[in-house]
Amino acid sequence: MVIVTGAGRGIGRGHALEFGRQGAKVVVNDLGAELDGSGGSTGPAGEVVDAIRAAGGEAVANGDDVADWEGAQRLIRTAIDSFGRLDVLVNNAGFLRDRMIVSTSEEEWDAVIRVHLKGHFAPTRFAAAYWREQQKAGEPVDGRVINTSSGAGLMGSVGQGTYSAAKAGIAALTMVESAELGRYGVTANAIAPAARTRMTEAVFADTMAQPEGDAFDAMAPENVAPLVVWLGSAESKDVTGRVFEVEGGILSVADGWQHGNPVDKGARWDSAELGPVVRDLLEKAPAPAPVYGA
118 catalytic per annotation: no
CA distance 191 to 112: 19
CA distance 249 to 228: 14
167 catalytic per annotation: yes
Give the type of residue at 150.
Answer: S
**Rounded to whole angstroms, what are the CA distances from 212 to 10, 92, 128, 215?**
20, 29, 45, 6
CA distance 90 to 7: 9
Task: With beta carbons less than 8 A apart as the criterion, state whether 18 and 41 touch.
Answer: no
Residues near 9 by beta carbon (within 8 Å), at least 6 away in sequence = 30, 44, 197, 198
265 catalytic per annotation: no
**Catalytic, out of 150, 157, 164, 178:** 150
CA distance 198 to 34: 9
**Catalytic, out of 25, 130, 149, 163:** 163
By annotation, the residues acting in catalysis are 150, 163, 167
